[in-house]
Amino acid sequence: MHDSLGKPLEIVQVKDHKAPLTFSVLNKAGKGKNSGKSFFERAANYITRYPDVQVVLASYGELGPELQNCIGADATTLKKNKKINTPELLKVFQRLKHHSLNEQEELKSIQEHLTQFPLITGDWQAAFDLLMQELYRGAEQEKGYTRQDLLERLQQIGQYLAAREGHHREWGTSIIPLLDQEVEDREQLRKAFHEGVSVGWQHILSDLDVKRQQHLNAIQEGFRKTKIVIVHGASGQGKSALAYRYLHDYCPAVSYEIRDLSTEKRALEVAAALAGYSIPFTFYVDASHNDKGLAEFLQRIHEMPHISCLVTIREEDWRLTDITSADITFADIELVFNRQEARELYTAWESAEGCRFPDFEQAWAKFLEEGPLLEFVYLLTHTENLHNRLQKQYDQIADEVDCQQRSENDLKLIRQVAVAGACGARIDLAKLAQLPGNTTLQRSIGRLEKEYLLRRSNDARHLTGLHPVRSEILTSIIADPILCSWEILALECLPLLEDADVEIFLLHIFRFYSEATNAVLSYLNTAKYETWGAVNGVLRALLWLGIYEYIHNNAKLIKQVYDKAGHGWFTVLDFVDFVGVLEGKPLGIIDMLPEEGQKEAKQWQKEQLPKSQVFARLDNWLQQVALPLLPAYDQEKDWNEFGQVTYWTGFREVNKRIDELIDWNALRNTLEKLPIDTLAVLIYGLWQALSTTDDFIEWYEDIRPTLLDRYRRETNTPYIEEQDGVIRAHFIVPTDDKIQKLGKSDSTEKEPFHALAMRHVDLLAQLVPDCTGYGCQGYGHQVFDFEYPYDETTKTNIPASQLKPRWVVHVNNTARILGSHMFRPVIWQDYSSQMFAIRKEVVSSLDELHRNLVKHFRSKTIVQELSKLSDTEEWKKTSLQVLNRPSFPLEALDQFGYTEERLEDISTAKEHENRKTETIISAYLQQYQPYLQAAREYFNSIRNFLDLSGSVMLANAFLGKADTPRRRVEIKQQLEELNFKISRPLLSALNLTEAIKDLPQFQSTFRKHFFTLINNEELSRLEQRELKTLHSLWPLWFCFETTPSRRMAVPGKTASDQLERRKKALQSKLFKALEKASTERLH
């Protein structure tokens, strides 16, 4: 053993000897690298070089009598023994100590130590064996180990064991091979396929699908560029069939389907099972809103060079994911069923199967020219559309029930499954089986499966519809305002739902079937909840309802403010913070307004309803709901949900006596078993709810050191400092390839160190929430030996209020986004038309300016139209339209206000702690980001020009026509008396230059996305007009700003020629200066 400088402190010889250990054994020459030297000789050499070194003999067996008498004896006794009486051996025995070892006790001690590592808890013996192999190999090579080396090696061993366990558990259960096998009942499969059942692998093996070559080529092209391809589209667009067909035709090796990514933990387990292979694999994920771990899974496999992954996902679920190109590289393919694809499908189907329609046009007309691919396929293979078919099928079953030829359970099942499916939820089969009168349930399910009206999930735990499109159609058939209202349907369905689906079901009810809201709320108050997932699902849905109703109740006021403030309405009103991020402090926006504007804004804020109304529904429910028992120690997801529920009870000051549910000793034992992120949510929630109770504070103070120790271990933080209520983590910055993974919750490609630092700070703020401020400092990332101007990992004192978790500040974002919904276009057609109209307005206003500038340079007198142009209604209208240009349409977003084209994280932190505004882009909208940026840059330049040019027009229209220097002075004096100033001369010309530079990219990206929605000839004319107007306006405007008194017979040509001459003169001067500098340097 050595000290930190490498100086030996202790040498240890371990012996496992069955017979009593004798002097001769220790004096025998060693083997290998120790060949020729005994233990005593090696020890004597060490003592000669390092006089202070200690010598230890550790043995599992007994010592022989001779050694027992010598170890610990004085010098006189030792000299009497002839074997020892040499200077070298006397030195050894005078400092030799013996430790007797007991194997069972040593193993117990090792077990207690190793089980402190979370990844090793389940298999410490295997971890020990692997570590010993490492140490044996190291000993052979005389390799040195530090304590940190061993800790890191144990962590690696734990990761390996976890991966090994995950591998055996996942393959064959969550990872299913897609094998080329014999299809037994092709006719039954064909019938099911034509009935619209969700497509499976066997349908492709039976060649029942129509190959969509265009999309297959697009997937193949996507895989040439990246390892992850995501196919998204509305329900019924044939995503699964396309994916299975691609895997069958383009992946000759065995492909695999991934099932169950329901949590991040499951995602990590499945990903771990895929690691470690060197041969290429292709995996398929048919994702839904239940696959909460999809983003985590894709991030993990993105780092595996041998893995390719094809994902299909419904459009509404795709929009709700948080996958962005900042996290992973992927190709996304949107499936939209249109006339062209319908024609290709019709042609392929007619040649393969025959078709009852004489031509495509008749089939397309019968289809009413809209709908999903699923319905079109059904139309081609049947004599009626899907709605009519389902109507007849449902009516026939109802007739059979009326005639007592069929169980009434069949109708109930159809109703329950359809309503749940239409609201994105599943029926829990175990709950359904507990209902009275369900003795024939199994037979009813069997019948309805054969009739393609429902199906069991892969795990046989749930009942679902065959397809969401079918569920929506069936629900529209079943529902009746009087006889079978949505109130009745919702109350029948709610007790049977899978707990994880309660939230999405309630959101659909509150958003689309509001007539059932009051009845559902009454049910929720008295319902019995078995899991904290269900409780938190209801809580989140009620938060959403409170926001939705608050927006509705303030709608008139919001519209009034929007008419004056545009997209900034939410900052003028108090819609920025509902959860205490700002601690009641205003943003200060109003103070920036003129006096009259401040009065108006303050009056608007007085008219705004109290923000507490957002939480009224939630408060009422929390006061009445009966909470379930605490989760079991291994229910990670439920502990996370419990932590969030506990937080909201504390935030809303609803006393649910949660502390009476808790066994504090048992909870202490649970802490080490929870992932640190889940643990942080739990502690943060408990602190918010119970920080005023003695029992909790005593428990928290007891475990706080343990929490910090775990934080240190799992975040690579050697030192944590605390001073004056502020806690800061001093952490080691990982290597570049790990930064994005560790900082993924906030990561951006441009600011990886900031993202990583905020990950540290956010986690610390939740794990130890008793501080007033939080910070951090990273080490090891600034590799050059000079002082850096700014370190993104330095965070000194971020107030605790500004570090609320995203699941808390989500309320603020949702309120703002839902409020913006009332000002958005409804469909893409509306959006593109409005943008097209604004572009035409801009060109018209600039054309008018061009005409007046031509008049100005030709005229001897003042052109009044030019001086007053910026005050005309047309100019003001254009400026306002550019400022308030439309946001993306409602059809591009989810229906609940969870996504938009850009989400801004609001913060009022100061100086280095100022959290820069981060753009969180819905994955669905990722493809539009180049367009959004181009539009933002172009219109910002145009708007700045429109705003700044007015003062230039007024001043220079008069100054340019002053006939004498004295008159110019008089005009300037008059302008000064009116407090009229032209701020930053030539800035408007610079803005016009920027608009010219930005225009081609804007035109290109606009055309790319919206050319199908606008007449191509009109769009081309507008593009040419924009280019001509801006390029011809710029030289005139520059001359007007710099030489307004000049007169020109042909202003456009003269101004252009003048600028060209000035440009050449500048180039010449620059060239000469560079040439001179180069020559002087040579001398």
Report the pLDDT value the prediction gives residue 84, as an integer from 0 to 100.
79
64-78, 145-159, 570-584: least confidently modelled range: 145-159
Confidence category of residue 923, pLDDT binned at 50, 70, 90: very low
Confidence category of residue 37, pLDDT binned at 50, 70, 90: confident
Average pLDDT score over residue span 841-858? 95
Task: Give yes or no for a contact between 526 and 624, defined as CB atoms under 8 angstroms apart.
Answer: yes
pLDDT tens column, 946-995: 998 988 898 888 888 888 888 888 887 777 776 666 555 688 999 999 99
The answer on pLDDT for 903 being more than 50 is no
The answer on pLDDT for 914 being more than 60 is no
Report the pLDDT value the prediction gives residue 765, as an integer from 0 to 100.
96
Report the pLDDT value the prediction gives residue 194, as an integer from 0 to 100.
61
Length of the chain: 1083
pLDDT tens column, 244-267: 999 999 887 678 899 888 888 888
Confidence category of residue 855, pLDDT binned at 50, 70, 90: very high
Report the pLDDT value the prediction gives residue 19, as an integer from 0 to 100.
75
The answer on pLDDT for 748 being more than 60 is no
Name residues whose C-beta falls within 8 Å of residue 576's C-beta, 6 or more positions apart in sequence: 570, 582, 587, 812, 816, 906
Confidence category of residue 522, pLDDT binned at 50, 70, 90: very high
Q: Which two tokens stand for residue 852?
A: 């007046």
Q: Which residue, 306, 318, 298, is CA-closest to 228?
A: 298
pLDDT tens column, 791-836: 889 999 999 999 999 999 999 999 999 999 999 998 888 999 999 9
Residue identified by tokens 């969870």 is 898
Confidence category of residue 107, pLDDT binned at 50, 70, 90: confident
The answer on pLDDT for 486 being more than 80 is yes
The answer on pLDDT for 89 being more than 70 is yes
What is the average pLDDT score of the chain? Answer: 84
**Residue 25 and residue 17: Cα distance in Å, rounded?**
10
120-134, 476-490, 804-818: least confidently modelled range: 120-134
Average pLDDT score over residue span 833-840? 96
**Residue 474 and residue 459: Cα distance in Å, rounded?**
24
Task: Give yes or no for a contact between 386 and 375, defined as CB atoms under 8 angstroms apart.
Answer: yes
Domain regions of the chain by residue span:
1-101, 118-170, 175-336, 826-894+922-1047
The answer on pLDDT for 289 being more than 80 is no
pLDDT tens column, 636-688: 899 999 999 999 999 999 988 888 889 999 899 888 889 999 999 999 999 99
Confidence category of residue 233, pLDDT binned at 50, 70, 90: confident
Report the pLDDT value the prediction gives residue 501, as an integer from 0 to 100.
93
The answer on pLDDT for 704 being more than 60 is yes
pLDDT tens column, 588-623: 667 667 778 788 888 998 999 999 999 999 999 999
Q: Which two tokens stand for residue 166?
A: 């995950």
902 vs 425, residue with greater confidence: 425
pLDDT tens column, 90-100: 888 888 888 88
Report the pLDDT value the prediction gives residue 901, as an integer from 0 to 100.
78
Confidence category of residue 503, pLDDT binned at 50, 70, 90: very high
Average pLDDT score over residue span 531-547? 96
The answer on pLDDT for 63 being more than 90 is no
Pick among 3.40.50.10490, 3.40.630.30, 3.40.605.10, 3.40.50.300: CATH of 175-336 = 3.40.50.300
1000 vs 84, residue with greater confidence: 1000
Q: What is the identity of the amino acid at 938?
A: Y
Report the pLDDT value the prediction gives residue 437, as an integer from 0 to 100.
79
Report the pLDDT value the prediction gives residue 919, as an integer from 0 to 100.
27
Distances from the Cα of 410 to the Cα of 390, 453, 460, angstroms = 15, 10, 18
The answer on pLDDT for 909 being more than 50 is no
Confidence category of residue 451, pLDDT binned at 50, 70, 90: confident
The residues pairing with 748 across neighbouring beta strands, listed in sequence order, are none
Report the pLDDT value the prediction gives residue 419, as an integer from 0 to 100.
96
The answer on pLDDT for 916 being more than 60 is no
Average pLDDT score over residue span 11-26? 79
Report the pLDDT value the prediction gives residue 795, as an integer from 0 to 100.
94
Report the pLDDT value the prediction gives residue 471, as an integer from 0 to 100.
87
pLDDT tens column, 337-373: 888 888 887 887 776 666 656 567 767 766 656 667 7
Average pLDDT score over residue span 208-222? 88
181 vs 913, residue with greater confidence: 181
Report the pLDDT value the prediction gives residue 724, as an integer from 0 to 100.
93
| DSSP sequence for 729-754 | EEEE---HHHHHHHTTTT--SS-HHH
What b/e sequence results for 534-572 when a residue is b if at least 16 CB atoms lie within 10 Å of its CB, and e otherwise? Answer: bbbbbbbbbbbbbbbbbbeebeebbebbbeebeeebbbb
Residue 850 Cα to chain centre, angstroms? 48
Report the pLDDT value the prediction gives residue 588, as an integer from 0 to 100.
60
Report the pLDDT value the prediction gives residue 498, as an integer from 0 to 100.
95
Q: What is the identity of the amino acid at 703?
A: I
Report the pLDDT value the prediction gives residue 807, as an integer from 0 to 100.
93
Report the pLDDT value the prediction gives residue 352, as an integer from 0 to 100.
60
The answer on pLDDT for 906 being more than 50 is no
User: What share of the chain has pLDDT > 90, as a percent?
Assistant: 39
Average pLDDT score over residue span 293-310? 88
Name residues whose C-beta falls within 8 Å of residue 521's C-beta, 6 or more positions apart in sequence: 617, 621
